[in-house]
Amino acid sequence: FSDFDRMSEAQKRMQQYNGGFSQQKKKDWLIISVSILLFMFGVSAASVPLYKLFCSATGYGGTTQKHTKEDEEKLRVMTPVEWRPIKVTFTGTVNPNLDWSFEPVQDTVELVPGETCLAFFTAKNNSTEVLTGISTYNVTPFEAGLYFNKIQCFCFDEQTLHPGEELDMPVFFYIDPEFALDPDLINARCHNVSLHYTFFNTAEKSSRFDMAEIVANVSSMITGKDSGDVTFTIPSGENIVKVNDLVYKEVVRKGYEKEFVVPGCKVVCHVTGTFRDSGKVFWCTKGGNPFTYTAGVGCRVEGWEEGWLGMSEGEISKVVMSSRKGYGKIGNRSWNIPGNTDIAFEIEILAVR
């Protein structure tokens, strides 16, 4: 062999070696990626109760506190803070998969921190079969959840109703006196707290982890392509108002243009939440009590806050948003919203305060 032939032969062997090494490296990364995903899937059962424990300990996301036996002595010696009156508003909704009516017996109560209160909700089974429901709950503003203590509540257990059966369900609670000294609540001049429940059908099973979605995410990680990166299109028309590239508003009826939604104001409204593509309803307050919230306090998804601002009293508009301004790749398990799903909220502004 000549020197040139020996060099060519060496180059071929080096290329074969590098090619094999590259393929082996890809296999190693794939094994590592799949192992990590399987590990995450394996501990998912533990993550849910741990997350609930974290929320209960911190009040994160408006999660209320559950009164325990250790708190009984505190309750016995607790002194009401008479100079700090609070109005508690009650609201309730039902997931479309559960054919129930559910509403508070009283819309509001007035109390002070350190004072116990008993309130009632009424549920009725409108179907022809026995149905069992479980409720989720939260408090707004979220900061108040840390001080909202439930001594007894229907939400602690599943509730079963026979066809046509109607049931009054109590919630016995108090707001911790430390509520009056919280600097965030003082700065926000918080005198109104909302307790909201949503009932779900326990027979409806939904997994937080979709294997098809996991495989798609593994594929996107290996190929470098984002499986959820779908173009969000904004239609044209006289009644279409573009908020930004990922949110737009479809005006159904113009408002009185006197009182406008601005950060910090209290908004009373009816809301219907739907999937943008299918129109399937996942939340609706029509036919029940209106929904009340404080604008601009970050208590909803980003697109929700951006779409509301500037609406006026009496207006009906549909705020449509990309999943990137909604619930993102994770979705929302409580409302059975899959990841990467564009959503819309039709909003009727009843009052702006």
Each residue's pLDDT tens digit, 210-229: 455 555 555 554 444 554 44
> Number of H helices and number of E strands within the chain?
6, 17
**Residue for token pair 């299109």:** 233
Give per-residue pLDDT as tens, 237-283. 999 999 999 999 999 999 988 889 888 888 888 888 899 988 888 88
Q: Any idea what the Cα angle at residue 117 is, between residues 133 and 164, rounded to 5°?
A: 30
CA dihedral 301, 306, 309, 314 (to 10 degrees): -70
- pLDDT tens readout for residues 275-328: 998 888 888 877 667 777 778 765 557 888 888 888 999 999 999 999 988 888
Residue 85's nearest CA partner among 50, 110, 61 is 110
pLDDT (average), residues 27-39:
67
d(CA 339, CA 182): 36
Q: What is the rounded distance in angstroms from the CA atom of residue 34 to the CA atom of residue 179?
A: 46
CA 47 to CA 232: how far, in whole Å?
A: 32
Q: What is the pLDDT of residue 61?
A: 41
pLDDT for 53: 47
Q: Supply φ then ψ for residue 83, to 5 degrees.
A: -85, 0
Q: Report pLDDT digits (tens) over 60-79.
A: 443 445 555 666 777 778 88
295/140 Cα distance (integer angstroms): 11
Tell me which residue of 310, 272, 308, 315 sits closest to 291, measured CA to CA: 272
What is the Cβ-side half-sphere exposure of residue 303, based on CA atoms within 13 angstroms? 25
